[in-house]
């Protein structure tokens, strides 16, 4: 899936000069959404009477303390508040997504946020700060419907102040990590991606202390008023680069692309339900809310900490799965979060063109440590099919009281019920599910092996004696079957693999270890004399 990219404008012409603020410094501060020290911000403003500041605020950030403190600073023209969307979604990706473009989402969410803060401040916010300053053509059209005064955009060489139908697009440069004095102009101190243990106010305070602009500090609204109309260039459905790398990562990073693919499929499901002609408006709104939560930009940026990545995946897939459930649909498997611990305690299969590996659950059962199967790997080429059992422990002698262990592999070539045998080779009380009836069976000890072919009218026929190798250092037993005896594509076969030993009561053989899900292992390794277990094959991709 090709995700939308951002068209860059490279305007090197000297006729498009950067906005001239006449020595003034305009700072847009974008704190992380968890920020709540509004009393501390008031103290910073109180201690620096020369500073006028623009604050990017997302819905839900204000505490009661903030609601009581900020209006006074706004009234004194010391503070301007501009709206952000909750989660700082990357609007071009949402508005232009190839599976389900949703430009209206920006309008709907912006309208709700502006109304929330109108009730708090008694006035409608006139500025808007999209995530990273990223704006594309579809977003451009949506923003004009909101009757805003200005929108923050990314900066590029020789960028100008753009205007369209009374809406100004103001280019901001990101404040660099190193604390050098800033030149006059529009600057964004973007702390939206700051970790939970960061101290955003400390960086803001240091930046203020290190900068003494010749003409003072200004808010965006004050700067635009002072500039006037002469420095504005006409904007018509333009795109601008972001001031961070989130949008670029969304185009090229596999982690981000996979997340956008899951999001796009969920957005498509909402679109199809909306257009079905039988949509329940209440359910549609609930699904849209979950979709909006999944739009947060943090879900499309791979964190360095694996634990943080796991938590983000859990939260993101929770929102995506909720979209489907609220529409009355079953979420696809890839949209459902599974705890890594649960994955490790499940049977896992991985395949390539010429190999297939099954990993047993980490808490697999066995009657004897020497019979505990960790994994089974199948490799093949034109000469042979090789089975590699990796064991918890491989002994060089029989296991008391079970005697010489036998590694048995039953191969179902076609997954057709009854097309083969459902009995095990030895005098075992276990049976194989009819749909997994085997055509070939391989039984091996530490010193040799036999290959059998099932027959509908007689006992299985021995057709070969494959070679066996043991690697006690790696705890592996390796059986190689000539291709002339075992033809076909191993990726399409089903496998029942276990370790057998003599029953202590001399009643025959018994299963000591098994490759499979824990539920099947518990059934197969249950108490003697209980109901005979019916074994099921494991297959690639299942």
Sorted by where each begins, the domain ranges of the chain are 25-247, 253-337, 348-539
Name every residue whose Cβ is closer than 8 Å to that of residue 173 and which is 6 or more positions away in sequence. 155, 185, 186, 187, 188, 243
pLDDT above 70 (res 165): no
Fold of 25-247: 7-stranded beta/alpha barrel (3.20.110)
**In the predicted model, is pLDDT for residue 137 greater than 50?**
yes
The whole-angstrom separation of Cα 294 and Cα 267 is 10
- We find that the CATH architecture of domain 253-337 is Up-down Bundle (1.20)
- Mean pLDDT is lowest, of 54-58, 457-461, 510-514, for 457-461
* Per-residue pLDDT at 18: 67
Q: What is the pLDDT of residue 1?
A: 52
User: Of the given ranges (1-5, 109-113, 400-404, 472-476), which has the lowest mean pLDDT?
Assistant: 1-5
pLDDT over 90 at 202, yes or no:
yes
pLDDT score for 428: 73
Given this model, what pLDDT does residue 12 score? 33
Residue 251 pLDDT > 90: no
167 or 38, greater pLDDT? 38
Is residue 4 scored above 70 in pLDDT?
no
Query: What does the alpha-carbon distance between residue 23 and residue 88 come to, in Å, rounded to a whole number?
Result: 31
Least confident of 69-73, 170-174, 508-512: 508-512
User: Which has the higher per-residue pLDDT, 521 or 165?
Assistant: 521
Share the mean pLDDT of the chain.
Answer: 89
Q: What is the pLDDT of residue 13?
A: 34
d(CA 250, CA 245): 9
Q: Which pLDDT does position 8 carry in this prediction?
A: 38
The whole-number pLDDT of residue 14 equals 37
* pLDDT over 90 (residue 142): no
Helix (H, G, I), strand (E, B) or coil at 151: strand
Range of weakest confidence among 491-495, 507-511, 527-531: 527-531
Please check the confidence at residue 178 and state whether its pLDDT lies above 70: yes
Cβ-defined contacts of 317-321 (< 8 Å, 24+): 317/262, 319/290, 319/291, 319/293, 319/294, 320/262, 320/263, 320/266, 320/290, 320/294
Judge contact between 70 and 117, C-beta under 8 A: no
**377 is written with which tokens?**
């790997």
Give the pLDDT band (50/70/90) at residue 443. Answer: very high
The pLDDT confidence band at residue 271, using thresholds 50, 70 and 90, is very high
* CA separation for the pair 60, 296 (Å, rounded): 14
- Is the separation of the CB atoms in 430 and 511 below 8 Å? yes
Flag whether pLDDT at 5 surpasses 50.
no
pLDDT band at 460 (very low <50, low <70, confident <90, very high): very high
- 231: pLDDT strictly greater than 90: no
If one compares 304 and 376, the residue with the highest pLDDT of the two is 376
| pLDDT reported for residue 529 | 47
113-134 average pLDDT score: 92
Classify residue 82 as left (phi > 0), alpha (psi -120 to 50) or beta: beta
More confident: 263 or 157: 263
**Hey, what are 519's tokens?**
């539920």
């Amino acid at each position: 899936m090709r995700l939308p990219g951002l068209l860059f404008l490279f305007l090197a012409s000297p006729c498009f000069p950067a906005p001239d603020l006449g020595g003034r410094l305009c700072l847009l501060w974008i704190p992380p959404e968890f920020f709540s020290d509004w009393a501390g911000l008031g103290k910073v403003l109180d201690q620096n009477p020369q500073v006028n500041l623009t604050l990017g605020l997302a819905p839900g950030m204000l505490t009661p303390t903030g609601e009581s403190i900020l209006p006074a600073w706004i009234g004194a023209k010391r503070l301007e508040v501009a709206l952000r969307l909750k989660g700082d979604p990357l609007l071009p990706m949402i508005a232009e997504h190839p599976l389900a473009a949703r430009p209206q989402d920006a309008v709907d969410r912006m309208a709700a946020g502006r109304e929330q803060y109108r009730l708090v401040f008694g006035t409608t916010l006139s500025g808007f700060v999209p995530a990273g300053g990223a704006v594309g053509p579809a977003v451009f059209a949506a923003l004009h419907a909101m009757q805003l005064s200005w929108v923050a955009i990314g900066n590029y060489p020789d960028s100008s102040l753009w205007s369209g139908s009374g809406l100004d697009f103001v280019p901001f440069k990101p404040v660099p990590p190193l604390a050098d004095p800033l030149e006059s102009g529009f600057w964004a101190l973007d702390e939206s991606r700051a970790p939970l243990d960061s101290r955003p106010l400390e960086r803001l305070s240091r930046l203020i202390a290190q900068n003494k602009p010749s003409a003072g500090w200004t808010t965006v609204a004050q700067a635009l008023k002072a500039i006037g109309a002469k420095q504005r260039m006409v904007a018509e459905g333009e795109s601008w680069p972001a001031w961070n790398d989130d949008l670029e990562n969304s185009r090229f990073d596999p982690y981000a692309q996979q997340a956008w693919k899951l999001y796009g499929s969920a957005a498509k499901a909402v679109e199809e339900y909306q257009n079905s002609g039988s949509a329940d408006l209440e359910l549609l709104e609930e699904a849209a809310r979950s979709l909006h939560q999944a739009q947060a930009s943090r879900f499309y940026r791979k964190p360095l900490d694996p634990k943080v990545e796991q938590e983000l995946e859990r939260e993101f897939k929770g929102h995506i799965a909720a979209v489907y459930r609220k529409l009355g649909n079953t979420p696809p498997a890839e949209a459902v979060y599974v705890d890594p611990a649960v994955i490790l305690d499940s049977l896992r299969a991985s395949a390539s063109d010429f190999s297939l590996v099954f990993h047993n659950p980490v808490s697999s059962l066995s009657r004897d440590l020497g019979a505990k199967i960790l994994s089974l790997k199948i490799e093949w080429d034109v000469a042979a099919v090789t089975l590699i059992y990796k064991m918890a422990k491989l002994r060089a002698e029989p296991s008391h009281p079970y005697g010489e262990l036998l590694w048995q592999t039953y191969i179902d070539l076609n997954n057709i019920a009854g097309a083969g045998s459902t009995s095990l080779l030895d005098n075992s009380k276990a049976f194989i599910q009819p749909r997994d009836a085997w055509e070939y069976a391989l039984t091996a000890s530490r010193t040799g092996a036999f290959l059998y072919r099932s027959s509908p009218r007689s006992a299985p026929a021995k057709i070969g004696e494959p070679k066996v190798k043991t690697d006690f250092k790696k705890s592996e037993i390796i059986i190689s079957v000539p291709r002339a005896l075992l033809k076909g594509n191993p990726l399409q076969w089903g496998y029942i693999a276990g370790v057998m030993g003599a029953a202590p009561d001399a009643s025959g053989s018994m299963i000591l270890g098994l490759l499979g899900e824990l539920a099947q292992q518990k059934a197969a390794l249950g108490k003697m004399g209980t109901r005979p277990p019916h074994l099921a094959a494991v297959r690639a991709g299942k």
